[in-house]
């Protein structure tokens, strides 16, 4: 099977061994291939003990990257869990009476529903980014790169640092100064990367890393890199495989830089065309209302591409000028998808609900459940429909957001006496 890079605008083709992120016409590139395998070979690998088969990315390798197995840089990653939970059931009342007025924890029976959570925070560095990074880093090695770089709101940096360490490459990350959750920054530094704190927002860091990689010959592994998208596709393929290839009605994804929305659209197109699934799920991309350029475009039928100054508590999706805009538009159109926005209050409430299910996620991930609640209420998502929310980052990625969000009475300092314990618990 052969592979090439193809412009999503003018369809011009380039060799896949060329270091190139855009076509001469300015549009993004996509990795395309001339044949797809039968899905039965992926299922046959589920019982294998080989590292490459245990990777939830490389289990699908014929449809991810045409490369010698020995050249693959894998932790392994993927093979994350799919949780099935009934939302709105069994809240612990005495603990949930805070924040009066906004508490939706005690819904009437007809507002209860089952929802699946595909938890990408269970990847080696705690976010979905590892899926794209294993492929981009394998490609970087193949191209003979000595150093790799990205702009990041945190998760990409941590993932890049970990995979560069494994591959023996120098890692440089461009992060908006003071705008990255402490856990993510610590992780990045611990794995050995150099962090450049850019005095500007994510979009400024993105612009700068693109110039720097051109000028300094550093391989760029942001989601502008089409090989990242090839890895991220496997989130969808794996959840389809988890569901025994019976496609759900909806796949719900947080939307920031739009790499995932793009990757999910490509994954569904390829799975449908290859006959792995017979029904096309609908994508629901959920943005934070303070970082909603894609939602704004959706609202005017994608007539215009919006660029805004982004502000939201969900730092992972605090992006005002998403790089993968055009690919994401195609993904929404292909899947008859929709774009929704949720406020910081709505997403933080949903985060607390996901956390208190014992699952947990970072704030950006909770846009999914917040979006589902909104779309269920408006009737866009119907009662009988099967919904899979993709949680993109681990609970521990942003502990400051948690500590700001839990009620004070749940964390109490007391004297070392049994009387004080009794008082505190009454």
Q: From CA 312, how far away is CA 288, in angstroms rounded?
A: 7
Nearer to Zn ion, 25 or 71 (CB): 25
Instruction: Give residues with Cβ within 8 angstroms of 136, minimum separation 6.
Output: 148, 163, 221, 225, 227, 228, 231
Residue 406 CB-density burial (10 A; 0-12 exposed, 13-18 middle, 19+ buried): middle
CB of 270 vs Zn ion, minimal distance in Å: 21
DSSP 208-252: HHHHHHHHHTPEE-STTSHHHHHHHHHHHHHHHHHTTT---SEEE
Task: Count CB neighbours of 297 within 10 A.
Answer: 20
Nearer to Zn ion, 26 or 101 (CB): 26
Nearer to Zn ion, 3 or 355 (CB): 3
What ranges in 243-281 are assigned the alpha helix state H? 259-273
CB of 283 vs Zn ion, minimal distance in Å: 25
CB of 21 vs Zn ion, minimal distance in Å: 12
For the stretch 163-189, what's the b/e string if a residue is b when 16 or more beta carbons lie within 10 angstroms of its beta carbon? bbebbebebbbbbbeebbbebbbebbe
CB of 377 vs Zn ion, minimal distance in Å: 42
CB of 214 vs Zn ion, minimal distance in Å: 18
CB of 12 vs Zn ion, minimal distance in Å: 5
CB of 198 vs Zn ion, minimal distance in Å: 29
Q: Which residue has the tokens 């291939």?
A: 33
Farthest CA pair distance, the chain:
75
Nearer to Zn ion, 7 or 267 (CB): 7
Q: Where are the beta strands (DSSP E) in 245-383?
A: 250-254, 282-288, 338-342
What six digits make up the tokens of 420?
């004080």
Q: From CA 191, how far away is CA 14, in angstroms rounded?
A: 34
Q: Where are the beta strands (DSSP E) in 52-192?
A: 82-87, 113-119, 147-151, 170-176
Q: What is the sign, positive or negative, of the torsion defined by CA atoms of 214, 224, 41, 59?
A: positive
Q: Which residue has the tokens 């929704």?
A: 340
CB of 11 vs Zn ion, minimal distance in Å: 7
Cβ(314)–Cβ(367) below 8 Å: yes
CB of 82 vs Zn ion, minimal distance in Å: 37
CB of 251 vs Zn ion, minimal distance in Å: 29
Nearer to Zn ion, 7 or 160 (CB): 7
Nearer to Zn ion, 29 or 151 (CB): 29
- What is the radius of gyration, based on Cα positions, of the chain? 21
Nearer to Zn ion, 25 or 216 (CB): 25
Q: Which residues of the chain form contacts with Zn ion (CB under 5 A)?
A: 7, 9-10, 12, 23, 25, 27
Q: Tell me the helix, strand and coil percentages in the chain, rounded to 5.
A: 45, 15, 40
What distances in angstroms separate CA 113 from CA 3, 86, 242, 243, 371, one per listed residue? 42, 6, 20, 18, 14
Nearer to Zn ion, 14 or 245 (CB): 14
Nearer to Zn ion, 23 or 286 (CB): 23
SS3 state of residue 419: helix
Nearer to Zn ion, 316 or 328 (CB): 328
Nearer to Zn ion, 27 or 62 (CB): 27
Strand order across the 147-151 sheet? 194-198, 170-176, 147-151, 219-220
CB of 7 vs Zn ion, minimal distance in Å: 3
């Amino acid at each position: 099977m052969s592979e090439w890079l193809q412009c999503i605008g003018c369809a011009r083709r380039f060799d896949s061994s060329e270091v190139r992120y855009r076509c001469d016409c300015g549009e993004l590139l996509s990795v395309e291939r001339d044949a797809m395998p039968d899905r039965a070979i992926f299922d046959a690998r589920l019982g294998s003990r080989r590292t490459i088969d245990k990777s939830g990315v490389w289990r699908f390798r014929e449809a991810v990257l045409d490369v010698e197995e020995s050249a693959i840089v894998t932790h392994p990653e993927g093979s994350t869990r799919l949780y099935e939970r009934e939302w709105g059931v069994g809240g612990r009342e005495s603990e949930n009476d805070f924040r009066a007025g906004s508490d939706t924890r005690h819904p009437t029976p007809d507002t209860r529903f089952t929802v699946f959570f595909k938890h990408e925070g269970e990847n080696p560095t705690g976010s979905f980014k590892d899926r794209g990074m294993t492929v981009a880093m394998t490609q970087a090695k193949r191209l003979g790169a000595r150093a790799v770089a990205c702009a990041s709101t945190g998760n990409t940096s941590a993932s890049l640092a970990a995979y560069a360490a494994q591959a023996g490459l120098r890692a440089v990350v461009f992060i908006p100064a003071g705008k990255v959750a402490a856990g993510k920054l610590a992780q990045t530094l611990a794995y050995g990367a150099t962090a450049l704190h850019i005095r500007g927002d994510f979009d400024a860091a993105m612009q700068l890393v693109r110039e720097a990689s051109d000028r300094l010959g550093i391989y760029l592994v942001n989601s502008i890199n089409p090989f990242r998208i090839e890895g991220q596709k496997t989130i969808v393929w794996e959840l389809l495989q988890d569901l025994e290839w019976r496609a759900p009605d909806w796949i719900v994804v947080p939307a920031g830089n739009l790499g995932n929305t793009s990757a999910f659209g490509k994954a569904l197109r390829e799975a449908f065309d290859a006959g792995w699934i017979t029904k096309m799920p609908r994508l629901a991309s959920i943005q934070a209302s303070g970082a909603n350029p894609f939602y704004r475009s959706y609202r005017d039928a994608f007539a215009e591409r919006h660029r805004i100054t982004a502000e939201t508590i969900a730092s992972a999706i605090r992006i005002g000028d998403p790089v993968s805009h055009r690919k994401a538009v195609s993904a929404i159109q292909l899947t008859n998808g929709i774009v929704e926005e949720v406020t910081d209050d709505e997403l933080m409430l949903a985060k607390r609900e996901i956390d208190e299910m014992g699952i947990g996620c970072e704030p950006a991930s909770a846009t999914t459940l917040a979006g589902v609640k909104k779309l269920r209420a408006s009737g866009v998502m119907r009662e009988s429909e099967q919904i899979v929310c993709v949680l993109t980052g681990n609970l521990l990625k942003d502990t400051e957001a948690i500590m700001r969000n839990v009620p004070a009475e749940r964390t109490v300092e007391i004297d070392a006496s049994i009387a004080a314990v009794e008082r505190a618990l009454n």
